[in-house]
């Protein structure tokens, strides 16, 4: 009887152990299913991440190839432009506008850490400072909104030449007056000093800079750097190169286009009022997002090829003009500045 009882207990233990094992197997199976359920999304996420990484790698390869192509194209165009200028004897015979605009549309989407990017940032900063200066004069009441958007350019003849005497010496101006002509507007005299202080700031200096101007929507240059505000000498050729302020530079499509950055120009005449722009369906309001800029290869009127970078200036949220650099990227380098 004792042996039978021991056998019964052994059977009970075996049965209990079997039950426990079954429960353990079921629990392990359940945990395995649960773990699999957790791992499946993780696995899928890893697959998707790998796909994204592969896509990014492909995009980088494509962009790298695109940028290499752009660099090669710009290099070829620059060489062609230089040869054309040499053959023509004057860069004014070149037609670079369409090519320049096409290049600008391509490179504007990339931050390449190039001289163009550096100058574009300076132009954007300068446009902001010009806007603040104009708004300050408007707030003082010295100018009205009607004044600041004036495009009725009045030629300044010899009898009125002293209007510009605060900017440069006019005492040697000849009987024929300014050649090329210089003009006045309802706003230029009131803005001369604040704009001169901005444009003569050494902050804008860098090696390779050819010029820096502040102008309106029709390329009327209200302010130029001191290099181009030299005293009138009476020598036409010398004065043509050395005194370029208060002139209208609308003789090239590239120059006019650089003053009208940020909107589509449907062929409005070179010297147009803001009302004429609006009548032609042009939206002159400031767009959302970053400030419009443009980079153009420009054939200048004395035979040089210059890269110009313009940033649009807005007054009361309407297109007013530009803050514009002209520079030679082949000579570009940052000037050493003493620590502040």
DSSP state at residue 173: -
CA distances from 181 to 23, 72, 155, 249, 324 (A): 102, 41, 7, 11, 21
Look at 13-17, 30-34, 266-270 and tell me which has the smallest mean pLDDT: 13-17
**The pLDDT of residue 83:** 47
Q: Residue 38 — very low, low, confident or very high, per pLDDT cuts 50/70/90?
A: low
**Cα dist. 64→72, 103, 166 in Å?**
12, 16, 52
Confidence at residue 289, expressed as pLDDT on a 0 to 100 scale: 93
For residue 183, report the phi and psi dihedrals to the nearest 5 degrees. Answer: -130, 160
List 295's β-bridge partners, or say none: 309
Share of the chain above pLDDT 90, in %: 55
The per-residue pLDDT for 108 is 53
- Nearest-angstrom CA–CA distance, 266 and 151: 19
Beta bridge partners of 243: 229
Q: Could you identify the residue written with the tokens 């039950």?
A: 19
Return the structure tokens found at 173: 């101006």
3-state SS class at 221: strand
For β-strands 318-327 and 209-216, DSSP reports them as antiparallel
Given a cut of 90, is residue 205 above it in pLDDT? yes
Q: Which residue(s) pair with 7 in the sheet?
A: none
pLDDT band, residue 16 (cuts 50/70/90): low
- pTM recorded for the entire structure: 0.70
Residues 326, 210: Cα–Cα separation, whole Å:
5
Task: Residue 55: count other Cβ atoms within 10 Å of its Cβ.
Answer: 10
What is the predicted pLDDT for the residue at 251? 87
The residue among 113 and 48 whose pLDDT is bigger is 113
Contact at 8 Å (CB) between 335 and 208?
no
Q: What angle is formed at CA 91 by the lines to CA 86 and CA 93, rounded to 5 degrees?
A: 105
Residue 10 has pLDDT above 90, yes or no: no
Cβ(138)–Cβ(320) below 8 Å: no
pLDDT grade for 45, boundaries at 50, 70 and 90 = low
Q: Which of 329, 339, 340, 327 is nearest to 205 (CA)?
A: 327
> 168 pLDDT exceeds 70?
yes
The dihedral sign for the CA sequence 187, 192, 198, 204: positive
Q: What is the dihedral of CA 208, 210, 216, 219, to 10 degrees?
A: -130
Enumerate the domain spans of the chain: 1-89, 91-331
Rounded average pLDDT over 268-283? 94
Which position has the higher pLDDT, 141 or 36?
141
A 10 A CB-CB count for 216 gives 24
Phi, psi dihedral angles at 335 (to 5 degrees): -80, 140
């Amino acid at each position: 009887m004792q042996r039978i009882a021991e056998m019964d207990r052994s059977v009970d233990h075996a049965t209990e152990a079997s039950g426990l094992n079954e429960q353990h197997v079921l629990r392990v199976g359940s945990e395995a299913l649960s773990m699999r359920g957790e791992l499946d999304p993780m696995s899928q996420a890893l697959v998707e991440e790998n796909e994204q990484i592969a896509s990014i790698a492909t995009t980088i390869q494509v962009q790298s190839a695109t940028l290499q192509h752009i660099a090669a194209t710009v290099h070829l165009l620059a060489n062609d432009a230089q040869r054309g200028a040499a053959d023509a004897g004057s860069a004014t015979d070149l037609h670079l506008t369409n090519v320049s605009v096409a290049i600008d549309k391509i490179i504007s989407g990339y931050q390449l850490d190039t001289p163009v990017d550096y100058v574009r940032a300076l132009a954007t900063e300068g446009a902001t400072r010009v806007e603040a200066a104009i708004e300050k004069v408007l707030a003082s009441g010295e100018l009205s909104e009607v004044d600041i958007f004036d495009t009725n350019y009045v030629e300044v003849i010899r009898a009125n030449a002293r209007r510009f005497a605060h900017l440069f010496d006019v005492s040697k101006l000849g009987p024929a007056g300014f050649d090329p002509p210089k003009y006045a507007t309802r706003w230029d005299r009131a803005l001369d000093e604040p704009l001169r202080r901005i444009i003569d700031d050494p902050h804008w200096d860098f090696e390779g800079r050819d010029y820096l101007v502040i102008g309106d929507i029709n390329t009327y240059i209200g302010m130029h750097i001191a290099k181009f505000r030299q005293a009138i000498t009476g020598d036409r050729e010398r004065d043509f190169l050395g005194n370029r302020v208060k002139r209208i530079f609308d003789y090239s499509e590239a120059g006019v286009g650089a003053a009208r950055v940020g909107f589509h120009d449907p062929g409005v005449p070179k010297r147009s009022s803001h009302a004429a722009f609006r009548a032609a369906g042009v939206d002159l309001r400031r767009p959302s997002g970053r400030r419009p800029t443009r980079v153009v290869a420009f054939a200048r009127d004395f035979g040089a090829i210059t890269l110009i970078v313009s940033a649009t200036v807005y007054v009361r949220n309407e297109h007013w003009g530009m803050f514009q650099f002209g520079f030679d990227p082949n000579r570009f380098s940052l000037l050493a500045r003493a620590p502040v």
